[in-house]
Structure 1
Amino acid sequence: MTPHPRPAPATAHALVLAPVTAGWDGGAFFTPVIRTLVGAGLRVTVADTLALWDEEVTTLAGLAARWLEVLPTFGPVDLLCGNALGGAVAQALLPSLDPATAALLVSGPARSDALLAERLGEIADLAAAGRPAAALDLLHRRVQPEGREPDGAAEPGAGADAEAGRRLAGGLRLLAGIDLTEAVRAHPGPLLQIVGARSQLVTRRHTAAAPHHRVHAVPRAGMRPHFDRTAEVSAHVGALLHEKGLR
Structure 2
Amino acid sequence: MSTARALVLSPAMPWWDGGAAVAPLVDALASEGVAADVLDTSALALAHGTLTEVVDGTAQEVDLDRYAIFVGNALGGTVALLLAACHRPDTPVLSVSGPARTAGTLTDRLAHIVDAARTGDIDTAVEILHRLVMPIGKEREGPNSRPGGDRETGARRLARSLHLLLDIDVIEMLREPGVRAVTMIGGRSQLVREPNALHSPTAAVVHVEEAGMRVHLERPDTVAAPLRRLLRQEAAA
TM-score, normalisation: structure 2: 0.91
Moved over 4 A (4+): none
Distance 1:120 1:189, change over 3 A: closer
Task: Encode CA deviations 1:109-160: one digit per residue, 9 max, x unaligned.
Answer: 1111121111011111111112101111111000000111111232452557
State which of 73, 90, 94 in structure 2 corresponds to 1:83.
73
SS in 2 for 1:88: helix
Give 2:58's aligned residue.
67
Aligned residues: 236
Give, as a single letter, the amino acid of the residue that structure 1 aligns with 2:206: H
Q: Do the aligned partners of 2:46 and 2:161 also contact (CA within 8 Å) in 1?
A: no
Give 2:214's aligned residue.
224
Task: Supply the distance in 2 between the matched residues of 1:159 and 1:119 (Cα, whole angstroms).
Answer: 25
Give 2:41's aligned residue.
49
Give, as a single letter, the amino acid of the residue that structure 2 aligns with 1:41: G
Deviation at residue 54 of structure 1 after TM alignment: 3.0
TM-score, normalisation: structure 1: 0.88
Task: Supply the distance in 2 between the matched residues of 1:190 and 1:117 (Cα, whole angstroms).
Answer: 26
Q: Do the aligned partners of 1:226 and 1:234 also contact (CA within 8 Å) in 2?
A: no
Task: Encode CA deviations 1:162-187: one digit per residue, 9 max, x unaligned.
Answer: 11111111111110111111122234
Task: Supply the distance in 2 between the matched residues of 1:205 and 1:158 (Cα, whole angstroms).
Answer: 36
Distance 1:197 1:237, change over 3 A: same
What percent of counterpart residues are identical?
A: 37
Deviation at residue 97 of structure 1 after TM alignment: 3.2
Give 2:24's aligned residue.
32
Task: Supply the distance in 2 between the matched residues of 1:196 and 1:149 (Cα, whole angstroms).
Answer: 16
| 2:190 is aligned with 1:180 | no
Cα root mean square deviation, aligned = 2.0
- Mark the runs of 5 or more structure 1 residues left unpaired by the alignment: 1-7
Q: Do the aligned partners of 2:6 and 2:36 also contact (CA within 8 Å) in 1?
A: yes
Larger radius of gyration: 1
Segment drifting more, 148-157 vs 177-186: 148-157
- Mark the runs of 5 or more structure 2 residues left unpaired by the alignment: none
State which of 83, 89, 92 in structure 2 corresponds to 1:99.
89
